[in-house]
Structure 1
Amino acid sequence: MRDTMHTHVEQIFTFIDQESNYIENEASATYLEGVVYALELWLNEKKVPSVRDADKEEVRKAIQLAILKGMKKSVQVNHQMTPDAIGLLVSYFVKEMTKDRKELSILDPALGTGNLLFTIMNALPTENYAFGVEIDELLIQLAAQTGELLTHDVQLFRQDALKPLLIDPVDIVVSDLPVGYYPDSETSQDYFLHSTEEMSYAHHLFMEQSMKHVKPGGYLFFLVPDTIFESKQAPKLHEFIKENGWIQAVIQFPTSIFKTKGQEKSLLILQKKSSDLKAPREVLLAKVPNMMNKESMELFLKKVEIWQEENTK
């Protein structure tokens, strides 16, 4: 007998897929625009999936499948999504490191379709509310609809996240950072991490902007390139982190998760300095094993647990 989660996800996906295909064929629109149309129908209850009792994760997964299908058809570089396996692992670390909190405010300054943020919000046992920033109109529309269907308390801003943000400091920042050069040299000059020799790295500037928008003692969970500390602009980044925060952990993901070589990412966990807190006793440096190997994963999670206990003593 097939498990209900799969059938619920499939039924919702089929509903979105059929409506998206219809719009793609009939209105000369893209499949992703069709997804926006399908979710709009659902939100306005004009047409809804036949599933009545799907939970938030099932809804998120089904929407994610439809968006992924649309992204495969799209040629836009910025239309990429954080893999689910990574999202779930980031959720685990967020949960572990905030388990003493009853309520959490979260910011994702590079929201995309919101998949990473919503994976985390679904996984947290605490009350939480979030802010998301995204410049791409189609992506933020998909994020807004998904957030509404999941009934999450999330406020979205359509703007360049490196321009001034009207968002109060939050408890945690989570982000799959956009990697590459930032084209607006005028804006980048307001940042400590701007480069005087070449165009500044967008992912470095996002880290600085995030540090400004997190409370003292708050955590920042960044998905960064494996080579982040090896680039020409890395010395300045080291200096910035040393001045403003503490590195808590660097977690390398298995290369098998990433489609192409050179796309490999790690999870960098920082904590903003606070006069009430001390630097971590030890930085956790770990490599995630093959996630299909149950025993290796159990050992890995045990190692994280021990590190967490030692660090909070």
Structure 2
Amino acid sequence: MEQAQVEELYRVLDQASQLLAEDLDSSYLEALIEICEDVLQKNIQVENDQPSANVATRLKTLLNGINLAKYSDDEIRRGIGLAYLRAVQVDNIQATHHQTPDSIATLVAYIVAKMVKPGVKVDILDPTVGIGNLLAMVANYLKANNQLGNVTGVEIDDTLLALTGISFDLQHINGNLIEGDAREVELPAADFVVADIPVVHHLETVGADNQIISAANQALKPAGVAVYVVPSNILETTTTVDFLGALTQAVYVQGIIKFAPSTFKNEKAAKALLIVQRHGGHAQQVEQVLLAQVPALKSKEALPQFFIELDQWITTL
């Protein structure tokens, strides 16, 4: 039923966005942002006779079919996420602006939620928020357990940030969104950092943007934890030694979790989770750094065992 609701919401957003984009001669993404705003305001915005009267009427009919009350916050997140994937296709959006897949975001949210003690509210920061899929997934997990404090997302692309803002409003996430480069803006202190780190190319290898990781690590509170989505070869490149040397000046490397190769269509796009903890407070280097791989989803026996071992490891932090 949940998937059906997500697809239902997506279909309306998609039809309305296509209709508006054609009428305004705009990109699909720009139209999607306006449509989401119309859904939130429950009104079709018309300025200087745009959209045309005929299209405005058709949009009103389409959007009247959306009853926000029947969708969960996560269904709204997923519906907008599907519409953004459509925008990536239609507008030919560059790869650096693709959203974090749910298969990865779900595990990040699970890890963060498991680390938060009952009754404690934590501040979350995403220095590369994009359209907010990863940050929203984590925020919704914590919000459901009344553990969510301040939420901050940083993004250099103002169009993506606009979609994130309206998406968060629709999901009832009270977030502080900052337009700018995470390497240059002042980042607020956070208990947890979650981020899908952009890749940079070094000759024949691909690595994570170390400057963003460094800036985000500095924003962590003492003993705060960061979960970074990084290329799976994070410790196998020619820059590994320099990267680790710089990293461990501020944080402990506590774990690296790779995803099964079958998770990705292209092996070169394979990702891993890098889990680090800021020096200070109760933090210390774990006796056994977690080096694990998420089993394929079809592995009915290995997957539950992976989560048992993951839960046990989290208790050692």
Q: Shorter-chain-normalised TM-score: which range?
A: 0.7 to 0.9
Note if 1:62 corresponds to 2:79: yes
Note if 1:227 corresponds to 2:233: yes
1:72 to partner: Cα distance: 2.0
Task: Find the residue that maps to 2:96 and give its secondary structure.
Answer: coil
- Which residue of 36, 40, 53 corresponds with 1:39? 36
Contact 2:130 2:164 in 1 (8 A): yes
Note if 1:122 corresponds to 2:140: yes
Comparing 235-244 with 204-213, greater Cα deviation is found at 235-244
| Off by >4 Å, runs of 4+ in structure 1 | none
> What does residue 184 of structure 2 align with?
163
Q: What amino acid sits opposite 2:175 in the alignment? A: V
User: TM-score, normalised to structure 2's length?
Assistant: 0.86
Whole-angstrom CA distance in 2 between matches of 1:277 and 1:84:
29
- Which residue of 145, 153, 156 corresponds with 1:132? 153
1:10 to partner: Cα distance: 2.1
1:129 to partner: Cα distance: 2.3
Distance 1:247 1:100, change over 3 A: farther
> What does residue 221 of structure 2 align with?
215
Q: Which runs of 5+ in 1 are unaligned?
A: 183-196
Task: Find the residue that maps to 1:156 and give its secondary structure.
Answer: strand
1:171 to partner: Cα distance: 0.5
Task: Find the residue that maps to 1:262 and give its secondary structure.
Answer: helix
Contact 2:21 2:31 in 1 (8 A): yes
Summarize deviations over 1:229-254 as a string: whole Å, max 9, x none: 22232222111222211111100011
User: TM-score, normalised to structure 1's length?
Assistant: 0.87
Q: What amino acid sits opposite 1:147 in the alignment? A: F
> What does residue 87 of structure 1 align with?
105
Whole-angstrom CA distance in 2 between matches of 1:278 and 1:121:
26
> What does residue 186 of structure 1 align with?
none
Contact 1:129 1:154 in 2 (8 A): yes
In angstroms, what is the RMSD of aligned CA positions? 2.0
> What does residue 10 of structure 1 align with?
7
Whole-angstrom CA distance in 1 between matches of 2:32 and 2:15:
9
> What does residue 48 of structure 2 align with?
none
| Percent of aligned positions that are identical | 29
Q: What amino acid sits opposite 2:264 in the alignment? A: F
Residue pairs, 1:145-224, within 5 angstroms: 145-165=166-186, 167-180=187-200, 203-224=209-230
Residue pairs, 1:230-269, within 5 angstroms: 230-269=236-275
Q: What amino acid sits opposite 1:178 in the alignment? A: P
Comparing 272-281 with 131-140, greater Cα deviation is found at 272-281
Comparing 91-100 with 55-64, greater Cα deviation is found at 91-100
1:307 to partner: Cα distance: 2.1
Note if 1:289 corresponds to 2:295: yes
Whole-angstrom CA distance in 2 between matches of 1:308 and 1:202:
24
Note if 1:50 corresponds to 2:66: yes
Contact 1:121 1:128 in 2 (8 A): no
Whole-angstrom CA distance in 2 between matches of 1:179 and 1:144:
24
Whole-angstrom CA distance in 2 between matches of 1:294 and 1:49:
39
